Structure 1
């Protein structure tokens, strides 16, 4: 049982960290710079930790930029206010994401003018059904060996769809429940203490107010774990955080 709990928590938080750190704050918003070799390392780590639910960074970046531009309107790819439940929202988001990834949907130029990380080989290979099934088989094998009973197997769907589930929780809860520090013209909300469990991603109201800030926590009682790790990486010069004032100038 201990092995299963540790495995689940490691998978959840490692996948969540690279989701927040690389897909969101780098691929989508370019809130820091890094050497190309480190970018490849973070890219590979995102694929490895998301596994069967790997989200292609360039497609994620475009999708998320659309979300900010059209937040909580009918053109928002994942606003919870146009769907009956979270599953319908996830299905719609997956459809738009796939259209962007395959080129079926051509995004407006404003969503591709800023840098989008790309690794063609890993994007193609990581998206194959075979690779996804191998990850799913690996997760299942761990449960077969270490789960004390079959009730624990109910956690496997979360492993299989880890990346999309984390994104859906953030976008559903972060635009429906909690409090607002700022009036952004949308329904974005902050959720605490749950924001801690999502490593800062549930401070959506703060983030939509100032999308160019690497720190999603604005009040003394808000805690952005991902940003704290980013500060350490900045300190040891693995990444270079872009100051807010400079980022705002670049975005004009």
Structure 2
């Protein structure tokens, strides 16, 4: 069924609607589903909603969620060190953008991948999409993605398919740009003094629905909220708050301190003092979600310019409403 009706206006509206809906569905699948929910356990959602959200990431060529989480947890443990799977500091921009995808089988054995994800290995639904770095699971993901586009074409027509394809292209590259741009010390700015080169980059923050506030994330990795200054727009965080209001997101992890209580720009230097972050490299044992979701404590050193902040804590629904 073609919804365009043939007119230029209807074609344009169908394209625009498909683009917006597809962009949000696929991007939230990565940012909320793969990243903040599965990798960092920043919240809990019902199983049916988890699968629905995660499907958006899978259908934009992110591969099996278990594999994705295993790679990302390794990234946090070895951020910008030689073992980091996609650091521009170690391998350059092209490697961080796309080269790492072709070397993961050599950089992370299947045994090490499984060691990273003991929690997800208990979920048969997620494991069905693959738990190893192998070509077969990548081919299966590609096949499902192609089938999904044929369904869009059959139900809604060419304009809807075109809108989805443009959204797919942009969303696919958004996490790769987080890897490559948001660890480039020549880009963006930092609010926290983390042990890596993570940066906050405004245009990546917008494109990746809040993931571009990457320095904040590396300073407090388990927080469900990445945008912490008033100007750091975080669509994923707003989505989490919406789900929380509906009772569909629980145990949401948030910074204890209000995000507006950041250091003020020093009048003499014109720079914002960095808030020191506790060592954000998770320990090696006993591995799994405890390390990947390790709660960080932000320690404030320069009291005259930076307000005291409290550690990130897990709070029940409704707590932290200010």
Q: TM-score, normalised by structure 1?
A: 0.77
CA distance in 2, matches of 1:191, 1:183: 16
The alpha carbon displacement at 1:122 in A equals 5.1
Q: How does 1:57-206 map to 2 (within 5 A)?
A: 57-86=65-94, 89-96=97-104, 105-107=110-112, 111-115=116-120, 117-119=123-125, 123=129, 128=140, 129-135=142-148, 145-146=158-159, 156=165, 159=168, 164-176=172-184, 177-206=187-216
Q: For residues 50-79 of structure 1, what are the alpha-carbon distances to aligned partners after superposition, in whole Å with 9 as ceiling and x for unaligned?
A: 34x142111111111111111111211111
1:213 to 220, 223, 242: 223
RMSD of Structure 2 on Structure 1 (CA): 3.8
Deviation per CA, 1:202-249, whole angstroms, max 9, x where unpaired? 000000000011110121221211111101111211110334589999
For residues 184-214 of structure 1, the C-alpha deviation after alignment (integer angstroms, 9 at most, x for no partner) is 1111000125413321100000000000111
CA contact (8 A) 1:199 1:224 kept: yes
Work out the CA distance in 2 between the residues paired with 1:118 and 1:180: 39
Structure whose alpha-carbon radius of gyration is higher: 2
Q: Deviations over 1:146-176 (max 9, x none)?
A: 49xxxxx8x95873x5654221011112112
Q: How does 1:231-246 map to 2 (within 5 A)?
A: 231-244=241-254
- Partner of residue 150, structure 1: none
Conserved in 2, the CA contact under 8 Å of 1:170 and 1:201? yes
Structure 1: stretches of 5+ with no match in the other structure: 148-152
Give the corresponding residue for 2:37: 26
Instruction: Report the Cα distance in structure 1 between the residues aligned to 2:105 and 2:174, rounded to whole angstroms.
Output: 15
Q: Distance in 1 between matches of 2:68 and 2:143?
A: 22
Larger relative helix fraction: 1
Distance 1:32 1:4, change over 3 A: same
* TM-score (structure 2 length as normaliser): 0.62
Query: Unpaired segments of 5 or more residues in structure 2?
Result: 1-10, 131-136, 257-288, 296-322
Change (3 A) 1:10 1:109: closer
Give 1:108 shift: 6.4
* Cα gap change, 1:18 to 1:130, in 2 (>3 Å): closer
Q: Which of 220, 226, 236 is the matching residue for 1:226?
A: 236
* TM superposition outliers: structure 1 runs of 4+ over 6 Å: 97-100, 139-144, 245-250
Q: Residue 191 and residue 8 in structure 1: after superposition, are their counterparts in 2 closer, same or farther (change >3 A)?
A: same
In 2, Cα distance between equivalents of 1:144 and 1:179: 43
Say whether the 8 Å CA contact 1:22–1:46 is kept in structure 2: yes
From the superposition, tell whether residues 85 and 226 of structure 1 become closer, same or farther in structure 2 (CA, over 3 Å). same
